[in-house]
Amino acid sequence: MGPGRLPVAPRPYRDELLSSWMARVACRYGLTGQELAGHFAHDGSCYSSPLSIDDRTLAQDQTRVWAQACGVDPERLQRLALSRRYPRRPRSWYASRGPEWTPMTVTGSTPVCLACFAADQSAGRDGYLRAGWMLAERCICPVHGELLHDHCVSCHRRLSVAFRLLEGRAQPVCSYCGLILTDGGGEGDRPHDSALVATALATQQRIAASVNGKNPEQEQFEKALANLWAPLDHPAAARPVLALWFNEVGWRCPNVVRHAVGAKTPLGLLPVRWRVVTLLALDDVFGPELRVDGTLPPAAAHLVRRAAPRQIRLSSSSRRSHVQQQRSAAEYERLARQILADPR
């Protein structure tokens, strides 16, 4: 393949990530999207130097070269940038796929909806990665109401999506075990409480509307989420206030979420299942009115007081209110444990 125009270049879908489109084009030549980008950058002289593709902010000179080679309007590629789709959304409100210092080979790809991939297959089109999957609060597909996946349902490794040309279409597969990523008729899924999943979905959509529109409520969400993931008792413990919500003695913060403790905007640093748990805790602790200042709900007051540098005893009435809140939160806690125990 020379450095000139490519003979096969499918057009990007409206809600597609640029990295996904590059990967779909590249798989027709046995390359990855990063390798294809590196090929253009080196005038075809080197495939061994992959070039990273930043879906959040695109370099105009790069997209101009890619568009020319693929016979696509450069403006069409520029519109795929997340900064163009969501001009008011801060970078911290996108999924970071783990701590900044973690290699991409370890953190894997953005979470995916297997039902969306199945819909692509049923429609006879290429599978592709949706831009909405990069949003920090996105953990449930708003189209299918299913939890997103960030681990392979077969090999259980952190999901890394690759594209393979199968039956004339680019289909998403696990880059480790080669499993074609569709819902498989529900294989590996566990039923979750539909009402509480709907609660998490509603909270997710409320956050999205607030962050995308630069609504004053965004600050309230950031403050509440930061409170839930604030260090408990001592910063060196790397144990979040959220641990108290579980009400489980001896609970320790898993390594996969330790880097989110103390973060100002922790959602984008969390695996999918921990995002769901955080949204459930957010709704249960701070309530639908999102009270984070002034008179706090009983559960929120308890967490904030326990996380304070000095221990503050609750009054008898406050303790009774907290016990009542724990009882009313039993269903939240049960679903949270079920989600975290799910091997998917």
**Full DSSP string of 57-118:** S--HHHHHHHHHHHT--HHHHHTTSHHHHSTT--GGGB--SS-TTS-HHHH-S--B-HHHHH
Q: How confident is the model at residue 15 (pLDDT cuts 50, 70, 90)?
A: very high
- Tell me the mean pLDDT in the region 309-315: 38
Q: What is the percent of the chain with per-residue pLDDT over 70, rounded to a whole number?
A: 73
What's the average model confidence in pLDDT over 133-142? 95
CA distance linking residue 321 with residue 73, whole number of Å = 61
Q: Determine the average pLDDT of the residues in 124-151.
A: 94
State how far the Cα of 17 lies from the Cα of 81, in Å rounded to an integer.
7
The more confident residue out of 92 and 297 is 92
Q: What is the mean pLDDT of the chain?
A: 79
Q: Give, in degrees to the nearest 5, the angle at Cα 121 between 120 and 126.
A: 65
Task: Give the model's pLDDT for residue 34.
Answer: 82
According to the model, what pLDDT value does residue 314 have?
A: 33
Confidence of residue 45 (pLDDT cuts 50, 70, 90): very low
pLDDT value at position 322? 40
Q: Among residues of the chain, what percentage have pLDDT more than 90? A: 38
Q: What is the pLDDT of residue 2?
A: 46
204: pLDDT strictly greater than 90: yes
Section 314-338 average pLDDT:
50
Reduced to 3 states (helix: H, G, I; strand: E, B; else coil), residue 329 is coil
pLDDT at 134: 95
Q: How far is CA 98 from CA 95, 112, 242, 320, in A?
A: 8, 16, 19, 39
Tens-place pLDDT, residues 247-274: 776 777 888 888 899 899 999 999 999 9
> Above 80 in pLDDT, residue 328?
no
Strand partners, 130: 16
Q: Encoding tokens for residue 209?
A: 């509307």
Residue 82 pLDDT more than 80? yes
Q: How far apart are CA 332 and CA 288, in angstroms?
A: 14
Report residue 324's pLDDT band, with 50, 70 and 90 as the boundaries.
very low
The pLDDT of residue 234: 67
CB 333 within 8 A of CB 247: yes
pLDDT of residue 232: 80
CB 103 within 8 A of CB 97: no
Mean of pLDDT values over 62-80: 86
Which pLDDT value is given to residue 136? Answer: 95
What tokens does 22 get?
A: 């590059």
C-alpha distances out from residue 324 to 61, 247, 316, 318, Å: 60, 13, 12, 10
Q: What is the pTM of this model?
A: 0.83
- 158 bridge partner residues: 151
**Which pLDDT score is estimated for 35?**
85
